A and B are shown apart, each in its own frame.
Chain A
């Protein structure tokens, strides 16, 4: 897996992350969303955590992850001279309210994976400004891994190990699912375009005609004709 990951990063760096372009922009948007999402999840953990010491530690991490997201925003603005438009994907539920520790396990793995990936990108010699930001973030992420270990240390080792394994498996499955979705997306896109260019023309006149009489005037023959709002049927 490590080999594949490294290969992917090397290819991406060679073809997309060396100099400013749409793929680099897309990547920065994704990185920003990941860091911001991470900050949000930690904030949820902070709200549920009962221990004040842990709350304070988490608060610091929330701010740090948020700061990372901001670093990508600034970097995007610096490289592309426009504001980064954040991805607004639905938030996932990573833990139940009574099991905050599962979030720490998730963070442990998430931070580790992010740190490794960012380190590979730095090694592969990406765009210099991106490299500068990633270096700063990698150092922080390594600190977060240690902090997550401390938070998990108080729990029975077998429970933590089992949970870490479960999360790794889940992430592995998700990466395959993502690839599957990507492939089906391409197939779907081709079908839609086939439909559009194949028979779309036959409907375009009808569609245009719909816009010609695009005013619904409910007044007829000088008498007010009222349009009753639809009845609700239970």
Chain B
């Protein structure tokens, strides 16, 4: 049975193909279109999935869409009308989109794919999230928790998932509905802090570490506790009027205007922040504390009511690695699982797995490297390097001409050569095999550098990624290094997929300072044994004594993670990356005098 899962029209469009219960291919559309968080129809991801499985679109048995558009339309319409007569602009813009396009999703899919509309089904958004977590967890039964901005109406769901007659069952115990949304609450404050919602929530989390949670009580007036549940105080935040600027007059009177500027906090050097900046950092810290409290309570409730000791967690809220670590510490919890891409980008996989599993086919796959495969660069020697100087990113133009040298090495030499480059303080772009599906680079589309050199972290932030200095980097390490660096470690996927913020041992902080946040935690990736990145770390360990490097996603600010070797070469040419490794091909940049 061949099931194509799709998600689009909101953010992070994606496609996934499940054949007889196994994920054959899955990718976010942004990796092909180079439009970050691309929400358009995932045409190229679909083509990629079909090509990977070597099948034609006619061979697809079912196309599963990740949400129910007519239910969602009901919510959007109700929200637009609820603020009548003050929401004319929102009504006009949302209705023209919905009536012109989004409401006819089934027909659109069928017509774009050229298939029978009967093959297209739509699913409940939170069921898809629960399925995406449970079906790849390998658990026999589990409590589930879904926290996101909003699906059709649901914003938070808790329930129990289990197998019955070889088919999965999802029992919803409690749901919160729009506008009472933890995700929207977090996103609203993300906007208030001067960042972009549905894109920069990670910046709120990073900024929180620089503040003190002294406004918790004040912010609790915005998110009102109601037992284990919560309600959003619409006197402060009104999403009916605008999802992008939901602040009411009461909100701005209480908290001030949204931040408009650049934070001077830095994870890598001592910098004084202004009083104003400190205020916003304190707000971030308070919001983070409230979010953590809420999800911990929800997780506890899910465990208690489902009478389970296992928990699977999905939705955009599950990308908050600081809160995830707090959930992991719940004493009642025995096994905890979060899929590699718990947000909407992963829901194409969830939708396809759900339909397949309902037909009795599910292999419980946990492969995260389901994306496009990289091919070597054949034209390096033909590039007129002297011409490339003018395309360097603004502010990086060098007077010296550039030259590239390229060589292809054996496996063994490759690891030695790259480990040596890292050890010598070079910043390496590392592109191997298939791309990861999620938002994090897990060693196949990564930028790697020494973990004990803060100057390199600064270089990467300023001259390679163009990223705010208060955002920390993460570490990739082998098991030996994990034992030495982390306060605790495990071999489960949570540690393999960078889903937790783990405290670093005091004595090791200087050794790995460029991958440690101001709160002395890191978001570790413990490399899977015998993977390419693990082999590289083994070689690096021989030179440095510690098998640990900084690992950050291979992209520039505002762009998605690179997919192909050509895109990696673009970033290499434009920025201060020193070495680019594509498969076994090593390209080195040289500045001649």
By a beta-carbon cutoff of 8 Å, the part of chain A in contact with chain B is: 40, 43, 46-47, 52-53, 55-56, 59-60, 62-64, 66-67, 70, 74, 86, 88-91, 93, 185, 188-189, 192-193, 196-197, 200-201, 203-204, 206-208, 210-211, 214-219, 224, 226-230, 232-234
Given A43-B567, A59-B379, A196-B91, A185:B173 Cβ within 8 A: no
CB distance from A209 to the nearest CB of B (A): 9
Given A52-B379, A53-B382, A188-B100, A196-B84 contact (CB < 8 Å): yes
**How long is the Cα–Cα vector from A227 to B573 in the complex, in angstroms?**
55
**B169 pairs with A189, CB closer than 8 A:** no
7 A-B interface contacts by CB (under 8 A): A53-B379, A60-B387, A185-B96, A200-B85, A216-B176, A229-B170, A230-B123
The B164-185 residues at the A interface (CB cut-off 8 A) are 169-180
* Binary contact track B150-167/A, C-beta < 8 Å → 1, others 0: 000110000110000000
B530 within 8 A of A: no
Cβ–Cβ contact B175 & A204, under 8 A: no
* B566 lies within 8 A of chain A by Cβ: yes
| A207 with B378, Cβ < 8 A, contacts A63-B388, A229-B127 known | no
- A91 B33 Cβ-Cβ under 8 A: yes
Determine the chain B residues whose CB is within 8 A of the CB of A188 once the complex forms.
Answer: 96, 99-100
> Do the beta carbons of A63 and B391 come within 8 Å of each other?
yes
A47 contacts across to B, CB distance below 8 A: 564, 566
Instruction: Say yes or no: A226 contacts B173, CB within 8 Å.
Output: yes
Is B79's CB under 8 angstroms from A207's CB?
Answer: yes
Q: What's the least CB distance linking A135 to chain B, in Å?
A: 15
Across-interface contacts of B234 in A (CB, < 8 A) = 211
B55-98 near A? 1/0 per residue, CB < 8 Å? 00000001000000000000001111111110010011001100
Given contact pairs A91-B33, A185-B96, A200-B85, A232 touches B358 in the complex (Cβ within 8 A):
yes
Contact assessment for B177 and A204 in the assembled complex, using a CB-CB cutoff below 8 Å: no
Quick check: A197 and B85 within 8 Å, CB to CB? yes
Chain B's closest residue to A89 (CB) is: B40
Identity of the chain A residue whose Cβ is nearest the Cβ of B391 in the assembled complex: A63
With contacts A185-B96, A188-B96, A203-B81 taken as known, whether A197 is within 8 angstroms of B171 at the C-beta atoms is: no
Q: Does B270 contact A (CB under 8 A)?
A: no
Q: How large is the interface on B (under 10, 10 to 19, 20 to 34, 35 or more residues)?
A: 35 or more
Selected contact of B34 from candidates A40, A46, A193, A215, CB within 8 Å: A40
With A52-B382, A200-B91, A227-B172 given, is the CB distance from A88 to B40 under 8 Å?
yes
Tell me whether B574 and A63 are in contact (CB under 8 A).
yes
What are the nearest 7 A-B pairs in CB distance?
A56-B382, A204-B84, A63-B391, A90-B40, A55-B379, A226-B171, A207-B81
Residue of A93, A200, A211 with most partner-chain B CB within 10 A: A211
A215 & B180 in contact (Cβ 8 Å cutoff): yes
B440 nearest CB across to chain A (Å): 22
Flag whether B121 is at the interface (Cβ < 8 A).
yes
- Tell whether A192 pairs with B96 under 8 Å between CB atoms, given A63-B574, A216-B175, A217-B174: yes
